[in-house]
Amino acid sequence: MEPKRPKLPSNPRVTSRRAMLRDAACGFGYLGLAGALSDAGLLRAAADGMGASPLATREPHFTPKAKQVIFLFMHGGPSSVDTFDPKERLFRDAGKPLPIKRPLAFDDQPPGPLMKPFWTFRQGGESGIPVSDLFPHMRSVVDDLTVIRSMVGEGVDHGAALLQTFTGSSTFTRPSMGSWAVYGLGTENQDLPGYITIKPALSHGGAKNWSSAFLPGAFQGTAIGHSGLKIEEFKDEPIEYLVHKGFSQEQQRYELDMLQNINRRHAELRKHDPELEARIQAFELAFRMQVKAPEAFEVERESDATKKLYGYDQEVTKDFAWQCMLARRLAERGVRYIQCTHSYKWDQHSDLFRKHTQNAAEVDKPIAGLIKDLKSRGMLDDTLVIWAGEFGRTPVSQGGDGRDHNPYGYTIWMAGGGLKPGFVHGATDEIGYHAVEDRMHIHDFHATVLHLLGFDHEKLTYHYSGRDFRLTDVAGVVAKKIIA
Amino acid sequence: MTRLVSFSFALVVVLLSVPVFAQTASQVEFFEKNIRPLFANNCQVCHNPQMKTGGLDVSTAEGFMHGGASGPVVDKTNPAESRLLKVTSYDERIKMPPTGKLSREALDALRSWVESGAPWPGSWQAAEKRPEPAKREFNEKERKFWAFQPMKEPDLPGVGNEAWIQSPIDRFILSRLEQEGIDPAPPADKATLLRRASYDLTGMPPSEQEITSFLEDDSEDAFDKVVDSLLASKRYGEKWGRHWLDVARYADSTGNDEDHRYPYAWRYRDYVIQAFNDDMPYDQFIREQIAGDLLPADQPGQVNRRGTIATGFLALGPKAIAQQDKKKMLYDVYDEQLDVVSKAFLGLTITCARCHDHKFDPILTKDYYSLIGMFASTRSFKDPTTHVAKLLFTPLVPEEEYAAYTAHQDKIDDNKIAITNVVDEQLEGYSNSLSPKLADYMLAARKAGDGASVDDVAKANGLDAKILGRWVEYLKPGSVPQPHLTEWREASADDLEEIAQSYQQRYRERLDEWHARLAKWRASVARSLKAKNMPPPMKPKFVPGEDRFFHEVSLVKGGPFALDEEDREKVFSREARDKLAELKAQEKKLKETMPPEPDMACAVQEGEAVDQKVFVRGDHGSPGVDAPKVFPVILEGHDQQPVATGSGRLELADWLTRRDHPLTARVMANRIWQGHFGQGIVRTPSNFGKMGERPTHPELLDYLALRFIDSGWSIKQMHRTIMLSSTYRMSSKVSDQQNAADPQNRLLSHFQRRRLAVEEMRDGLLAIDGSIDLTMGGTLQTGFGTDRENSNKRLSMNPDEINRRLIYIPLRRANLAPLLNLFDFGDATTPLGKRPVTNVAPQALFLMNSEFVSARARNLASELLNDDAGDESRRMKRAYLATLNRVPAPDEIDAGLGYVSRLKQRFHDTTEDIDAWMSLCRVLMASNDFIYVD
């Protein structure tokens, strides 16, 4: 569809771009987004109801295909040529030297020879998209996937690659994609954070990968545990400070009433300061949040059939099944942007066969379960699911039976949210090193995700430090071919 | 923002002579057959009219003739030197096409085409165009931009209400208000003023004692005394040092990819606190942070310790040290250093000019690279070329002293290595002794597996029974597939001997290789221990994929030839054991006599002077014209003498601290003003450029900046000047008239209420219950390098669990404490001139639910109950004094006491006195009255 012009700011205080910049309470303003987000209003929860909260729902530039995002991140970099990108020549020429000059690699040793993929590829579903035996469950839902075989990034080390995958920049601190999404759209459930990242990685940029950077802190991702913790260690208090220890809820309400009395008296003596009322409202919201939010995290409430579907009943899949089920529960409750992380397991510089097998065993079923579950609940239509590592791996061997990092041509897939299902986009060269057809740079990927969320990526901007910033920097082309 | 459309210099088109020869039919054919398809198939994915990667489009004659961002790709006068041939030859850094080198035939065709003059059919009509960068002339508006004009001593404005004037500052404020017909707010009451001044200068609440004595002091200069005593407090440097650390994007690790610790970053932090406490002149503060290592030490022969530490300002930025394009890594670091310098001191966003001239300000790309040259000539790494670049640590003692220390350290290390060598030699000897028997063991295991007893077979073959037993187990088929044993398992009886021999042969080769690798590792450990700035490399792990058989036999625990830990000493020779004992005794002695480690700093050092070029479009692989080390043309003009020797940092420091610099004093005066009023006179404190704000009171800004310089750049004097005005002492209450006329309070008709910063809130709460630990300085962080990927150690320490002031809690850049993110601390990665203030529910959760706040409330409640048992209203007064720093009104006392008793009544089963008072204290701590400063 053709992008419509974004609505002009409707707030009467906002008269011009310059005036907005001048008026911005804290040196930032926003430009190019529909009216609800006004400069100062952005920061103020609700003197006039939730309309002015930074997390209130906002209209994007045009009707979105996807309302929410679930990003399944395979930290470490799964091998594309062993999973979704079959390369005849690797089977044929295994053991021969790399026929091209190796681009900048992570390894400082000379490259090994071409290495044969460890798994057999078989066509799946009606679409017949080949998926290797590493992912039999994902193969069973391949008709719902849009496989992109031509991803290109710039970082050959994990840190740079993660930062670019999530923020667009491999070098600088920039707002993450989820922060942009919530900045643009707000969120639908005010009792939950708008952007939640489950068990995120502490390494390779850590919180920079879900940070709001110079966007207001309200758009920062909320971390649920981290990669080093077991679910049991944080599931009783998934969000920091969510649980009160000591008072009963009734006592706490009593205490809150006293607080609000004091605050009201204070505010009455001080006119013309909407911040004071906003903070009174923030406490009410917080109270509601602590009452209502925990229910969203009670994954145990899922039916046995659902648990089985995700593999929650088996030890090997339990952790990621929990993450995927929680992601679905959060999406169902209107959380805008959710990320699950299978942290730092996929980095097989050696022993790729054994480790990839283990890794796949942990995620394959939960992921397929998520797709099936979303579909059966009718949620896949407006939920965009993304499956990606920070890069793929080289067609040549490293460490005998592993592969090095390859950001020059790798595969990710997306599903739902207005994409063509059962569709393959782009191609790598005949050994799977470089993307050559319909190359999709990470900027293009970001532009496409924002497009699906209803944004013209060039117009979703934020003024900071003297210029307008956007997720896609000065690049990005929407991959129209993959949009249904 | 569209890319690169606003290159604002004019493209000067030079028409060169048109090629005179017409193309022959065969040339046309050659082109169409060989060259056009070559471009189409290999180059136009990127070099097309839409993408023009590198500025180059090879789809048309015009595009091709025009060339890329660094000029034409064909050199007509010297075709062999053409860029097109160089990049396709794969001999240079830039290799095209990136998907793989062209075939020999294609390269030959390309070469002969270029050498014949690169004839492009139809191109004789197309003029060859070559852009030549013109001298950028600034327009009138740019030259006259306010921030670049010299500071001017303003006339003191006349006012109607002379009685209001307590300081010249008030004239600037009042005259504007009078012009607009707005009345200034009345003075704040004394308790409010004390709370305001106290948080402003120290980030802490006034004590009960301080409140009482100020309220009782009726003298004229009561407030002057308060200001003086707050300025003399050590807490002052901790508050204002933190303001500076925001600007300096201070943190204790590199962030980005690896998040390595800066183990000595804290010395810079302590330096900043000390500088503020000592009221170090601001010009000296600048000079030390930029070039302190180059300034003379206080005593000859000593290292300029303070100055060296001060350059942490440059050294402590975020760094992507695992970036493999090392030149990019370095130039990103220089960019980051220039960014912090230009924003902090100049209030300019110079680094916007990295790829193109600044889009809004008259800053040229060349200006950018002229300054970058200074940082490129400065060392920030010990070794930038290693896989993970090595950070630079600088000793703060004279060289000889440091050398003596490292020499002793070396002895210990040598000794340690000697120990390792003895142990490894013995272990390797053991392995070597077994390897010739490998085939025997395999064959024996086959026999034993066939039913004979292991002990018998071992005895019969002169083998060790324990080892043989393991061989038997190992060779049994299990559930894990072992393709490397297939050959053995499927061997026929006739071939067994030969196959066993081949396994042995491969094993021995692998063993030798492995021992060689271990030897190499030991050598690198030795080197790294000498270098002392990184943890020694990990012992290499044998990559099982290289040889699963070898791995399982000798390296896996319990493998047939693996030596159990407890059996180790048994196989060592007597000599080896004696030697080890001797070395260990030696080690003990050396450790006992070890001199203390000299102090070190994370600082920069003078590097090799670089003749910096402009990088075309910011690409470090495309050097353009020279960018000698000079200062931005808009400020200093075209005729500058470039820095001749050294990095130029000293010259940069001199330039920044010139008394007539139009930006330096204004920028800092504005920051100080902002620290008191929440907003600066320029409301974008780190951007005085076109996209920044204009000053609300330009004459006042100049007045302050000039007084700042006159006072010898004394920051404390600036505080006095500002705080002793009527302007600072106004109430924060807003009248309807003020609100209608100036809703944003740009003209300062009243004091702007502000929320406490996260440090003030947290440290304030710790002060209220008396549990704050006011120890100054030093570090809570230990260790070097980074941690395992999923380790909790990657997290910053939790400020909820430490009672030191927040400024002393180390900041791991990649994972700041959640509390800091929650309360708008910023990211400790980009220079932050002013923190945003957000108001969101999770902040309320912290105050309602955190153990930290509960503990403060409980402590305060218990103190109240202990001290004044019996007098409840006095108790309530003390609760108010402690938290809100004021005496409660009678209705507040009643309401508070009413709450306490109702709570006890209503929840009598679970609520004791202490619980009820704790709840009340928590309410006060969570209240708007606490979190906002009037």
Distance, CA of A356 to CA of A378 (rounded, Å): 32
pLDDT at B248: 98
Please tell me the least confidently modeled range out of B238-242, B901-905, B918-922.
B901-905
Interface of B with A in 691-710 (CB under 8 A): 691-693
pLDDT at B870: 66
Mapping DSSP onto H, E and C, the string for A337-361 reads EEEEEECCCCCCCCCHHHHHHHHHH
Give the three-state DSSP class for B730: strand
Look at B895 and B537; give whichever has higher pLDDT.
B895
Q: Which residues of A touch B915 (CB under 8 A)?
A: 246
Chain A interface mutation, best of B849, B858, B884, highest count of A Cβ atoms under 10 Å: B849
Please tell me the least confidently modeled range out of B321-335, B391-405, B567-581, B733-747.
B567-581
The alpha carbon of residue B495 is apart from the nearest alpha carbon of chain A, in Å, by 28
B684 in A contact zone (CB under 8 Å): yes
A18 in B contact zone (CB under 8 Å): no
The alpha carbon of residue A244 is apart from the nearest alpha carbon of chain B, in Å, by 5
pLDDT at A21: 33
Q: Mean of the pLDDT values across residues B407-420?
A: 84
Contact A194, A55 (CB under 8 A): yes
Cβ atoms within 10 Å of B179's Cβ, excluding its own: 10
Distance, CA of B312 to CA of B248 (rounded, Å): 9
Give the three-state DSSP class for B401: helix
Cβ atoms within 10 Å of A232's Cβ, excluding its own: 8
Q: Per the CB < 8 Å rule, is A272 touching B322?
A: no
Give CA A463 to chain center in angstroms.
Answer: 23
Is the backbone peptide bond immediately before B168 cis, with ω within 30 degrees of 0?
Answer: no
Domains and CATH numbers, chain B: 1-134 (1.10.760), 281-396+605-658 (no CATH), 400-461+468-592 (no CATH), 848-933 (no CATH)
Our CA angle for B882, B885, B891, nearest 5°, is 95
pLDDT at B24: 67
Contact B706, B661 (CB under 8 A): no
Give the three-state DSSP class for B146: helix
pLDDT over 90 (residue B335): yes
Q: Mean of the pLDDT values across residues B563-568?
A: 82
Chain B interface mutation, best of A255, A461, A463, highest count of B Cβ atoms under 10 Å: A255
DSSP string of A359-416, one letter each residue: HHHHHHHHHHHHHHHHHHTT-TTTEEEEEE-S-EEEEEEETTTEEEEE-SSEEEEEEE
pLDDT at B479: 57
The reported pTM is: 0.81
Distance, CA of A470 to CA of A175 (rounded, Å): 9
Please tell me the least confidently modeled range out of A120-129, B79-88, B232-241, B753-762.
B79-88
With left for phi above 0 and alpha for psi between -120 and 50, is residue B354 left, alpha or beta?
Answer: alpha
Residue B614 host element (H or E): strand B613-615
pLDDT at A232: 93
Q: Mean of the pLDDT values across residues B907-922?
A: 91
Give percent helix, percent strand, percent coil of chain B, each to the nearest 5.
Answer: 55, 5, 45
- Under 8 Å CB pairs connecting chains A and B tally to 325
Distance, CA of B120 to CA of B105 (rounded, Å): 19
Which CATH fold would you assign to the domain A68-227+338-482?
Answer: Alkaline Phosphatase, subunit A (3.40.720)
pLDDT at A17: 36
Q: Distances in Å between the alpha carbon of B146 and those of B150, B363, B688, B690, B707?
A: 9, 15, 9, 9, 19
Q: Which residues of B touch A357 (CB under 8 A)?
A: none
pLDDT over 50 (residue B180): yes
pLDDT digits (tens, 9 = 90+) for B133-169: 556 789 999 999 999 999 999 999 999 999 999 999 9
Q: Does the structure's ipTM exceed the value 0.85?
A: no
DSSP string of B502-552, one letter each residue: HHHHHHHHHHHHHHHHHHHHHHHHHHHHHH-SSPPPPPPPP-GGG-HHHII
Q: B27: Cβ–Cβ under 8 A, 6 or more apart, which residues?
A: B116, B119, B121
pLDDT range class, residue B5, cuts 50, 70, 90: very low
Give CA A105 to chain center in angstroms.
Answer: 26
Q: Mean of the pLDDT values across residues B194-219?
A: 97
User: What does each of the 484 residues of chain A score in pLDDT, given as a tens digit?
Assistant: 333 333 333 333 333 333 333 333 222 222 223 233 433 233 333 233 333 577 889 999 999 999 999 999 999 999 999 999 999 999 999 999 999 989 988 887 889 999 999 999 999 999 999 999 999 999 999 999 999 999 999 999 999 999 999 999 988 889 999 999 999 999 999 889 999 999 999 899 888 899 888 887 788 899 999 998 999 999 989 998 999 988 999 999 999 999 999 999 999 999 888 889 889 988 998 999 899 899 999 999 999 999 999 999 999 999 999 999 999 999 999 999 999 999 899 999 988 988 899 999 999 999 999 999 999 999 999 999 999 999 999 999 998 889 999 999 999 999 999 999 999 999 999 999 999 999 999 999 999 999 999 999 999 999 877 778 999 998 999 999 999 9
pLDDT at A30: 28
Candidate ranges A105-119, B90-104, B365-379; pick with highest mean pLDDT: B365-379
pLDDT digits (tens, 9 = 90+) for B458-488: 898 889 999 999 999 898 887 566 778 888 9
Please tell me the least confidently modeled range out of A283-287, B761-765, B866-870.
B866-870
pLDDT at B480: 61
User: Quick one: tokens of B230?
Assistant: 């707050």
Give CA B777 to chain center in angstroms.
Answer: 21
Q: Report the residue of chain A nearest B836, measured CA to CA.
A: A26
User: Quick one: tokens of A374?
Assistant: 């979303």
Average pLDDT of chain B? 89
Q: Which residues of A touch B323 (CB under 8 A)?
A: 155, 157, 159-160, 171
User: Quick one: tokens of B321?
Assistant: 């040290």
pLDDT at B470: 92
Candidate ranges B289-303, B418-432, B562-576; pick with highest mean pLDDT: B289-303
A475 in B contact zone (CB under 8 Å): yes
Distance, CA of B155 to CA of B178 (rounded, Å): 17
Please tell me the least confidently modeled range out of B316-320, B359-363, B498-502, B838-842.
B838-842
Q: Per the CB < 8 Å rule, is A241 touching B824?
A: no
Of B101, B322, B733, which is closest to A270 when you measure between CB atoms? Answer: B733
Q: Mean of the pLDDT values across residues B198-207?
A: 98
User: Quick one: tokens of A210?
Assistant: 């879900």
User: Quick one: tokens of A397?
Assistant: 């061997």
Distance, CA of B170 to CA of B156 (rounded, Å): 10
pLDDT over 70 (residue B859): yes
Interface of B with A in 308-337 (CB under 8 A): 318, 320, 322-325, 332
pLDDT over 80 (residue B16): no
pLDDT digits (tens, 9 = 90+) for B245-300: 999 999 999 998 899 999 999 999 999 999 999 999 999 999 999 999 999 998 88
User: Quick one: tokens of B566?
Assistant: 């407890």
Where would I find the H helices in B217-318? 222-232, 234-247, 265-277, 282-291, 305-310, 312-315
A109 in B contact zone (CB under 8 Å): no
Q: Which residues of A touch B256 (CB under 8 A)?
A: 159-160, 163, 171, 205, 208
Q: Mean of the pLDDT values across residues B312-335?
A: 95
List residues bridging with B390 in a β-sheet.
B383
Q: Per the CB < 8 Å rule, is A466 touching B931?
A: no
